[in-house]
Amino acid sequence: MSGMVFYKTDEEIELIRESCLLVCKALAHVGSIIRPGISGAEIDKAAEELIRDHGAIPSFKGYGGFPATLCVSVNEHVVHGIPSSGQVFRDGDVVSVDCGAYLNGFHGDSAYTFPLGDVDEEVMELCRVTNTSLYKAIDAAIVGNRLGDIGYAVQHYVEREHSYGVVRELVGHGIGRELHEAPEVPNYGKRGRGALLKEGLVIAIEPMVNLGRKEVRTESDGWTVYAKDRRPSAHYEHTIAIRKDYTETLSDHSPIEQAIRNNTNVKPVELKTETV
């Protein structure tokens, strides 16, 4: 990632939105087929086919040598899990699915954590709080605020108002012609610190939250990041554009949520009422 921040034009933002909406279409398809008994390889194949059928390219496949279209991270796996045929989901799992697509010269990026079947209430609450923290971060991503305000919004809500652990080692990012552009967007920080947020900034915001402690490690596959205490983790991501007077969420989770409502194998993740 170079240190240069590329502010986007209206036309570029429209193209990024198209890529993001395709990502969300792929995630919604995953949300319609995911169930206990299906494998990571199966959902990965379905997502790749959908992306390629729309004339796009999976952003992650081949990125730094990553072998798949989706990152599929189950339970204590935080992010960057490699989908495989041996990775068969079980009742009670929480499955984080991260997806990127490259279309018309621009990337889109979004992620959603799917609770399968009879998930423990404490893990459902982790999902709700993590998902809600994403929208608190988006609310803080306005012209005149700073990067630290975004991180603070997540960290304060997740660690102070609740007692979860915000992962420090992995962060959100600028996005556009490259999947990962400057700036880095940490999910922790201090109010009023860091770079100013300006019109045309497009970033992926992606809180990764551990039920237990915040520390993470990487599995021997060299990719899969897991919570060191092996307790569950959740991850939700939107790509957003900062406009002059408002913030636009370019990705859209409502098709995913609709798919989940029609799939009895997935428990809906409601937002916490204090933000609704």
**Within a 13 Å sphere around the CA of 128, how many CA atoms are in the beta-carbon half?**
18
Closer by beta carbon to Mg ion, 98 or else 265: 98
Asked whether position 109 contacts Mg ion by CB under 5 A, the answer is yes
Exposure string over 119-143, b if 16+ CB within 10 A, otherwise e: beeebbebbbbbbbbbbbbbebbbb
Provide the mask over 131-160, with x wherever binding to Mg ion is found by CB under 5 A and - wherever it is not: ------------------------------
Asked whether position 204 contacts Mg ion by CB under 5 A, the answer is yes
Q: How far apart are CA 165 and CA 225, in angstroms?
A: 15
Asked whether position 111 contacts Mg ion by CB under 5 A, the answer is yes
Subset of 216-245 contacting Mg ion (CB under 5 A): 237
Q: 81, 96, 103: which is closest to 126 by C-alpha?
A: 96
Amino acid in the structure at residue 58: P
Q: Where are the beta strands (DSSP E) in 34-76?
A: 57-58, 70-74
**CB 23 → Mg ion: shortest distance, Å?**
8
Q: Which stretch binds Mg ion (CB under 5 A): 98-106, 133-141, 190-198, 248-256?
A: 98-106
**CB 257 → Mg ion: shortest distance, Å?**
18
Closer by beta carbon to Mg ion, 153 or else 171: 171
- Positions in the binding site for Mg ion (CB under 5 A): 98, 109, 111, 204, 237
